[in-house]
Amino acid sequence: MEQSEEKVPENQERGILLMDNWPGYDLDLFTYPQHYYGDLECVLIPHGIIVDRIERLAKDIMKDIGYHDILVLCVLKGGYKFCADLVEHLKNISRNSDRFVSMKVDFIRLKSYKNDQSMGEMQIIGGEDLSTLAGKDVVGTGRTMRALLSSIEKYKPNMVKVASLLVKRTARSDSFRPDYAGFEIPDVFVVGYALDYNEYFRDLNHICVINEHGKEKYRI
Ligand code: IMP
Ligand code: MG
């Protein structure tokens, strides 16, 4: 076996692994908005599992943070559900322990995707007091996260940790790895749980795979 530096168990680093042959769940076994009937391939991750996994991420984060105060920086718009659920779990853990962690929340907005493609330029809007923890929806190519981190550096934070709900296994990836990952997923375009395709599907609870019909219907 190869020698390695500090070893973090692989499943902790990558989160729950959804393999390329993972077929997802049949949509007809769940409820979802009627206006999206015919636009989706499958349920990749049901809402309940998303929330359960985030509960564990919150526990891992609290364990690492110790007694430091934290600023949760939510990356809008796609990260708002993840951030809200993460903050809820962090609050619960803090409330039910004798550790007092003071928590602030700020929001930043990044935009780089048109249809299902990552666009060249990155816009960063908002966020004034940037110091500790960043919460993010998907790491696709990793470009967005690198751009954000270099702009956070300017504020000389004590510590920056990145939590991402999803990490895609993509050939275009620049191998950015968040400190906390919810799920590692195949290179498919997913929607729901605040993730959008041209602003649609944010109002879907589960993380689903969009189909060709859906892409065509909402293409710009
Ligand atoms: P990256 O710069 O390629 O890592 O892309 C990250 C950003 O692109 C995320 O914050 C999302 O907003 C968006 N994104 C990437 N993949 C998906 C996806 O499958 N569904 C919805 N949005 C995505
Ligand atoms: Mg988007």
CA of 190 to the centre of ligand 1 (A): 9
pLDDT for 57 equals 97
Query: Using CA atoms, how far apart are residues 9 and 14, in angstroms rounded to an integer?
Result: 9
pLDDT for 171 equals 73
Q: Which positions of the chain have pLDDT values less than 50?
A: 1-4
pLDDT for 20 equals 96
pLDDT for 47 equals 98
Token pair for 121: 């330029």
pLDDT for 121 equals 65
| Angle (CA) 9 90 195, round 5° | 80
| Angle (CA) 98 104 110, round 5° | 140
pLDDT for 159 equals 85
CA of 48 to the centre of ligand 2 (A): 22
Report how far Cα 177 is from the mean position of its chain's Cα atoms. Answer: 12
Mean pLDDT (the chain) is 87
Instruction: Say if CB 166 and CB 177 are below 8 A apart.
Output: no
pLDDT for 130 equals 56
At 126, give phi and psi (nearest 5°). Answer: 90, 180
Ligand 1, atom 9: nearest CA belongs to which residue?
Answer: 138
Ligand 1, atom 23: nearest CA belongs to which residue?
Answer: 138
pTM for the predicted model, two decimal places: 0.89
pLDDT for 168 equals 93
* Strand-pair category, 16-17 with 207-210: unpaired
Q: Atom of ligand 1 at shortest distance to CA of 189? A: 19
pLDDT for 167 equals 93
In the chain, count of helices (H) and strands (E)? 5, 10
Q: Residue with structure tokens 């959804």?
A: 18
